Amino acid sequence: MNSAPAGPPARVSSHEAILLGVILSAGAALRVAYLLELLHWRYAREVLLVGDGRVYHEAALRILSGNPWGVPVSYQDPLYPTILALLVKFTGSDLAGPLAVQHALGVASAGLCFAIARRMGGPVAGLVAAALAALSPVPIYYEGLIEKSAPGIFLFALATWLLASGLARGRAARVAGAGAALALTALLRGNALFVLPVAGLAIALARPRPIPTGKAIVALGLGIALVLVPTMTRNRMITGSFALTAGQGGANFWVGNNAGNRTGTFRPPPFLREDPRHEEYDWRAEAERWAGRTLDRGEVSRFWLREGLRYWVEFPAAAMRNTGIKMLLFFSGYELPDTQAYSFFRDYIGIPILRWPLPAMGPTMALAILGLLVSLPLWRARAAELGLLAGYAASVVFFFVLGRYRIIALVPAASFAGVGAAAIVRHARRREALRFAAAVAVLVAAGFVTRLGRWPAREALSYINLAVSLAREGRYDEAARPVAEWLAYNPQSVLARELEGKLAMIRGDLETAERDFSGALALAPQKRSLRVAMARLRLRQGRREEAIAIMEALVRDRPYDTDLRRMLQGLRASGPGR
């Protein structure tokens, strides 16, 4: 395989422009159809405003009500709630308006994908890359969530284009813009902070580079400072410390680097409640239990970081194995679920576009692997694109892999996919049989790799979150249906058994609640919320002493959990009949 051209033709031809317009128009039409179908579903609000989406939405409403800070910097990255608040204000809608703008950003990202890929591999590369970004149902799904993926994809794409074109043309202003876009991406996804030094390294290694190294690095630094200095000043006003972004980095590192997680993705520890509003408290309480003393915000994050590093020191072979799994997951064709699941929207909600035979992440990643290999001989000319993609991939693998974390790198990945496709087309046109066969063989092998990185899904959360939203509105009968449907598919689901038991308690069906809680505890005996639920059931059954015993055991296990101590005190103070 020979390398693709070092640069594109000087101007976009009218033929290219027409094809690009068709691709982007088709992408826009798909997004309009998807959004209308989603908002037409009777539980659209309930399924969108769950988990992190609910936290972001509530924070945006706080900003609009006069609280300029929205989300405390101590735990949540602050930028997306601010963006959401602006979109709610200017569109006059808290769902349809922001989602429509996010879909528009998706189309714009596909346009940037064309420009990035065309610079590397020519017109074919640009058009293929734009088609993969515009027509894939995967980014359309993420753009349709109250979630930071859509602005993250766009900002990272913008940073990649600005840095690559700025270095190639010697324009310091574009390099500075790349720094600002990368910093904004980091305020959406804190792991993107790791990409900032990689961008500086890419500048130093890039050749040819009409702009001097020092000037380019200064420009990059100024762009970064333009965003992060005001942010740090804001954080100082709120918390008293010049924090860069959210304070959950240590906990996230431990999640992906501990002996209990062999999946490479998010596996919640038993002390962590599913509601993200409780995450900061739960992480702190558990860290204080382990440390044997109270800890401030910074100490909590550093504690979990040290525990994750301890895992690497004590179990290096297992840590390397997990890292290999995470690398496979990053290039997987499968969307690892979290609060929401792609398969839930496709199968349960039944949005038709997600079922159409459109290019998903599997073909994109397989072609991207080919494109990366094709680009290696020209690595200095493509240092910006290679560096930013590799840096972001490493920042995800360093922690743990989820679909919504990986999708931020969609545009650089699709751009290299375009390069890979252009290489195959070029060899076919030139009748270079050996090179064509080698490229196809690599593509087939890469396709096999994208099918390796799959792990049992956590789609249960989508069913559970819908049920929780309905229960919160007092629609208990409706809430029971998605729980029952998931249990029919997976009777061993701890989350579903726990929620079914809680709904049974609300109905007064204590026998069903006993069966569900007992079955769930047999599967997850240390789960905090389950043990609390069982204590409440015992109290409802008139077995007050057993309820107190359960809570006392919990407090012994978690002596720094003030919520548990408060519940125990209330239980002791209540009379036998209460």
461: confidence class by pLDDT, cuts 50, 70, 90: confident
Q: What is the pLDDT of residue 525?
A: 93
Q: Long-range contacts for 469-472 (Cβ within 8 Å, ≥24 apart)?
A: 469/43, 469/45, 469/46, 469/47, 469/49, 469/50, 470/43, 470/46, 471/499, 471/502, 471/503, 471/506
First-residue to last-residue Cα distance in the chain: 77
Q: Which two tokens stand for residue 483?
A: 């729980």
Is residue 205 within a helix (H) or strand (E), and if so which, with residue range? helix 195-205
Report whether the peptide linkage leading into residue 352 is cis, meaning its omega lies within 30 degrees of zero. no
Q: Alpha-carbon distance 563 to 578, whole Å?
A: 20
How far apart (Å, rounded) are the C-alpha atoms in residues 280 and 251? 9
pTM of the predicted protein model: 0.92
How confident is the model over 193-221, as a mean pLDDT?
95
Beta carbons of 402 and 51 less than 8 angstroms apart: no
Give the pLDDT of residue 278: 83
Cβ 271 vs Cβ 282: under 8 Å: yes
Residues 284/336, Cβ–Cβ less than 8 Å: no
Query: Is the Cβ–Cβ distance between 204 and 213 less than 8 Å?
Result: yes
247 confidence band (pLDDT: 50, 70, 90): low
Q: What are phi and psi of 72, to 5 degrees?
A: -60, 135
The token pair that represents 150 in the structure block: 């859509």
Q: What is the mean pLDDT of residues 453-480?
A: 82
What pLDDT score was predicted for residue 23? 98
pLDDT at position 211 is: 92
User: What are the DSSP E strand ranges found in 255-330?
Assistant: none
Q: Average pLDDT, stretch 461-472?
A: 90
CA pair distance 567, 572, nearest whole angstrom: 9
pLDDT at 150 (0 to 100): 97
Q: 295 vs 251, 280, 287, CA distance in Å? A: 14, 12, 8
More confident residue, 562 or 441: 441
Cβ neighbours of 11 (radius 10 Å):
8
- How far, in Å, CA of 284 to CA of 282, rounded? 5
Q: Tell me: pLDDT of 352 over 70.
A: yes
How far, in Å, CA of 132 to CA of 157, rounded?
14
pLDDT beyond 90 at 520: yes
Residues 472, 463: contact at Cβ < 8 Å?
no
| Whole-number Å distance between alpha carbons of 196 and 223 | 11
pLDDT at 558: 86
DSSP state of 347: I
**Dist. CA 484–CA 499, nearest whole Å:** 10
Residue 454 has pLDDT above 70, yes or no: no
- Mean pLDDT value across residues 513-520: 96
The topology under which CATH files domain 463-573 is 1.25.40
pLDDT band at 248 (very low <50, low <70, confident <90, very high): confident
Q: What is the DSSP string of 39-70?
A: HHSTTHHHHHSSHHHHHHHHHHHHHHTT-TT-
DSSP state letters, 530-573: HHHHHHHHHHHTT-HHHHHHHHHHHHHH-TT-HHHHHHHHHHHH
Q: Which two tokens stand for residue 243?
A: 């924090």
- Give the pLDDT band of residue 74 (cuts 50, 70, 90): very low
**Nearest alpha-carbon partner for 330 in 410, 248, 440, 418:** 410
Reading the block at residue 154, the tokens are 């766009």
Q: What is the mean pLDDT of residues 387-414?
A: 97
**Whether residue 571 has pLDDT greater than 80:** yes
Residues near 218 by beta carbon (within 8 Å), at least 6 away in sequence? none
For residue 256, count CB atoms less than 10 angstroms from its CB and return exposed for 0-12, middle for 13-18, buried for 19 or more: buried
Tell me the average pLDDT across 373-402. Answer: 96
- The whole-chain average pLDDT of the chain stands at 91
pLDDT tens column, 152-201: 999 999 999 999 999 999 999 999 999 999 999 999 998 999 999 999 99
Q: What is the pLDDT at residue 453? A: 63
Question: Is 334:402 a contact under the CB 8 Å cutoff?
Answer: no
Indicate the SS3 state at residue 122. Answer: coil
pLDDT digits (tens, 9 = 90+) for 41-60: 999 999 999 988 998 999 89
What would the two tokens of residue 551 be? Answer: 């809570």
pLDDT of residue 578: 46
Cα separation, 449 vs 329, in Å, equals 10
Question: Helix 528-540 to helix 494-507 angle, to the nearest 10 degrees?
Answer: 20
CB 392 within 8 A of CB 408: yes
Domain locations in the chain as residue ranges:
14-243+332-359+366-452, 463-573
How many residues can be counted in the chain? 578
Q: Which of the pair, 119 or 271, is modelled with greater confidence? A: 119
Mean local confidence (pLDDT), 90-109: 97
